[in-house]
Structure 1
């Protein structure tokens, strides 16, 4: 019996467009958060769509914020893992992870603040939701 490498599924044109729109929405939302103003109306205006159209991609502002936070947590965890792997011995791996985490935070201050500071008025992370899993993943990488 031979094993073949797993082949990623081919996305339909519709799925690719949806994924691209989600990416653009997240980028615009991060820009607005960095500027101190995160509103669906402003994000929609930047993308040339109505605020109502955003609800096709994110059912609520809170779900968009949750997606941004979990993306930030994943990016931090990736950076920490890469820094850890670059280290040699146990001490080197820990220092590599810590330096990589700091570098990520310095390079992405608006994402760091979104994940760890600057509470967004009216936003509460879903209890036991994806932000908890994201935080745990980062802890595991350390």
Structure 2
């Protein structure tokens, strides 16, 4: 059934509100995000905007979810299951970096400093995990194709990597033990750490070519997990 006029209007106005909020992120940062300022930019009464987002935290949650979804979509689009695992890994990492460079303020909202007084709700987790799902699928596919050596059969250490994270990072397979999961978790977090170092200016004076450095670093991470 096609959406009603009211539903289309609500969707369009919601998109306008979130677009204005993203512009505010670029100007004042997440901590300075203000519903009143967004309403003022759009020529709306604050009371009207509150019908769409009852609080600043609701708007932040929407921006965070949208950001994670956009980043996850970029990673998913970059993954070619027919390619060798190492090439898949590098392609996905490059796509994540490209998205971050194109959307630095949204990336900072996701992986920068916490916003004072705000805690993201659990319902942001599925969107936040989309990149990890892609990277984990690459590891799992490599294991199932015989591209990862089988482990020595060590038992799971439930206190090391959570069951939820283990499921993301390749799932259950004889070649994926807790040592592999630990390296996969390290690699996953290092992808964002490397991008953050570049995006927030910490590589200035350290490397002469950020493209070559990134590809080299992502290659080392691929090797770390056995790809």
> What are the within-5 Å matches in structure 2 for residues 1-80 of structure 1?
9-36=1-28, 37-80=32-75
Match of 1:3 in 2: none
Where has structure 1 moved over 3 Å in runs of 4 or more? none
Which secondary structure state, in structure 2, belongs to the residue aligned with residue 124 of structure 1? Answer: coil
Q: Which residue of 1 aligns with 2:134?
A: 141
Unaligned runs of 5+ residues in structure 1 are 1-8
Q: 1:33 to 1:87 in 2, by over 3 A?
A: farther
User: 1:39-64: per-residue Cα shift (whole Å, max 9, x none)?
Assistant: 00100001101111111111211111
Could you report, residue by residue, the CA deviation over 1:91-142 in whole angstroms, capped at 9, with x for unpaired residues? 111110000000000111011001111322221112xx22212122221022
1:99, 1:82 → 2: CA distance?
A: 12
Question: In the superposition, relative to structure 1, how do residues 139 and 70 fare at CA in structure 2: closer, same or farther (>3 Å)?
Answer: same
State the match for 1:6 in structure 2: none
1:99 aligns with 2:91: no
- Alignment partners' CA distance in 1, 2:96 and 2:65: 16
Give RMSD over aligned pairs: 1.4
Is the counterpart of residue 117 in structure 1 residue 109 in structure 2?
A: no
Greater displacement, 82-91 / 61-70: 82-91
Find the residue that maps to 1:85 and give its secondary structure.
coil
CA deviation map 1:23-50 (0-9, x unaligned): 0000000100111131001000011011
Q: TM-score, normalised by structure 1?
A: 0.87
If the length of structure 2 is used for normalisation, what is the TM-score? 0.56
CA distance in 2, matches of 1:52, 1:87: 52
Instruction: Please give the alpha-carbon distance, in whole angstroms, between the structure 2 residues aligned to 1:33 and 1:56.
Output: 21
C-alpha separation in 2, matches of 1:84 and 1:10: 32
Q: 1:57-101 CA distances to partner (integer Å, 9 max, x unpaired)?
A: 112111110010000000011111111128721111111000000
Q: The residue matched to 2:79 in structure 1 has which SS?
A: helix
Q: 93-102 or 81-90: which moved more?
A: 81-90
Q: Counterparts of 1:80 and 1:137 in 2: how far apart (Å)?
A: 8
